[in-house]
Amino acid sequence: MSEQLLPKHYLSGKTIVIAGGGVAGLAFAVGLRKLWPSTTTAQPPTLIIYERDTAEDAIGREGYSLSLRSDPPGGIQALQRLGVLEDMIAASIEDVNKKNGGFCIWDKKFNPILKVRATVPPGLPVGSLRISRRGLRKVLVQAAEAAGCKIHWDVRCTGLSSTPSSPVTTVLSTGSTVACDMVVAADGASSKLRAQLRPHDTLQFQNTVAVGGTAVYPVGTSPPEPVDRDWGLMPLGIKKSALFFSPVSPNTAIWSMSFRTDTPIKAARSPVPDDVADWALKTAKERILGLPPLYYELVDRTDRNTIMVMNARDKYAFGHGPGELPEEFGRGKVVFIGDANHAVTPFAGNGANMALCDGWELAVQLLSATSAEEAVQQYDKLVVPERNKVVRQSHIGIAVGHAEGWRLWLALLFLRIMKMLLFKYVH
């Protein structure tokens, strides 16, 4: 795109509202600012971010940890393109602990059936990294603010209105409205904007629930091996249950017990009420007895303010073509990215990677096209099939992780064979 054409770029001087200051929304804002050439005199679009969390909640809570990877869709590559990879590495768990962690499938004695450390692709300093939710969000917020993006904390986008020939009006939780030329809906898996424009497109329960929390050790000490560096799944083969472990910081690690059921439970976001916390801890200890001592140690050290109770729910991605959105919101006026478009369960291990890539790819397409409609069509073509592939793969992962009997035996045999065949990459 030449400098001579940029003053006439269709986005010049426009206003884009970003509904949601999570990973996808922030990645889009940083990406669009980064891609807009500094050598041109064309006025860049105004980006306004509305985030339902307060600034303290958004970047102050320890939360869970996330795996960012260089395999498709390429979260590490997206971070490099956004210009924040070095900051992410500095904030990552591996860098803090100076240990070479990896993803594991463990047996019930914490012996690794499979351990994967990502290879480092050419041109990248790392192949993967593990980072706390807080650390990831903090780096992205700082990058967005440094790029001149205004973030309105504790304000949620609650609705949209438009006509086929008029701009979009965004309704805010404060009762006020804001007119804009485009809305990037990145307001999470329970998106209010998706509920308005696509009321039939809801999260689907994947017959799995989980309880968990964060175990805290004294400052200067760390959780015992291997959860001081490695993260992964432990299929139990009993009562269709599995355990998950991961470090979060030098002195904390998360644990969860998940199990298959046809009945959803009443989900609760941290901090949960005392009676829910009591039930979660009791369930974690008593649902299956005779588990590894380390597991019970982590449960006993759990900070009650971090306990979570969740249903595994997800949904497939959708495009923005005719029939997908009401006519008045089509032609590139509203674009859904991240969890607002394609929510995945934690068992996918890919939600943050997809959100980063969504934000970057949308920015690329908007600046490469001659209209918003053309940009969104190309975005859908590139992104939707890949995201739906991840959703399908996550369903396989849930089934394998919670298998019993011969199904689990076959799955573990397959993993052991893969370990032997791929010994250069799997340790």
**Which helix (H) or strand (E) covers residue 51, if one does?**
strand 46-51
Bridge partners (DSSP) listed for residue 172: 157
Q: What is the three-class DSSP state of 67?
A: strand
Distance CA 159, CA 49 (A): 15
What are the sequence ranges of the domains in the chain?
6-101+129-202+316-399, 204-313+400-418
128 - beta bridge partners? Answer: 69
Angle at CA of residue 418, ends 414 and 422, nearest 5°? 180
CATH placement of domain 204-313+400-418: 3.30.9.30
- Report the pLDDT value the prediction gives residue 43, as an integer from 0 to 100: 87
299 and 281 Cβ atoms separated by less than 8 Å: yes
Strands 231-235 and 103-106, sheet pairing: parallel
Amino acid at the residue 306 = T
* pLDDT in the model for residue 161: 96
What pLDDT score does 308 carry?
93
Question: What pLDDT is stored for residue 70 in this prediction?
Answer: 92
On whether the CB atoms of residues 326 and 198 are closer than 8 A, the answer is: no
pTM of the predicted model as reported, rounded to 2 decimal places? 0.92
Q: How many CB atoms lie within 10 A of CB 422?
A: 12
CATH superfamily of 6-101+129-202+316-399: FAD/NAD(P)-binding domain (3.50.50.60)
Beta bridge partners of 233: 105, 244
Q: Which residues pair with 66 in a beta bridge?
A: 131
What is the predicted pLDDT for the residue at 94? Answer: 62
**Tens digit of pLDDT per residue, the chain (427 long)?**
444 444 578 999 999 999 999 999 999 999 999 999 776 678 899 999 999 998 877 665 556 788 899 988 999 999 999 999 999 999 987 644 445 678 899 999 999 888 887 788 999 999 888 898 889 999 999 999 999 999 999 999 999 999 988 899 999 999 999 999 999 999 999 999 999 999 999 999 999 999 999 999 999 999 999 999 899 999 999 999 999 999 988 899 999 999 999 999 998 888 899 999 999 999 999 999 999 999 999 999 999 999 999 999 999 999 999 999 999 998 899 999 999 999 999 888 899 999 999 999 999 999 999 999 999 999 999 999 999 999 999 998 899 899 998 888 887 777 777 666 654 444 4
Q: Do the domains spanning 6-101+129-202+316-399 and 204-313+400-418 agree at the CATH topology level?
A: no
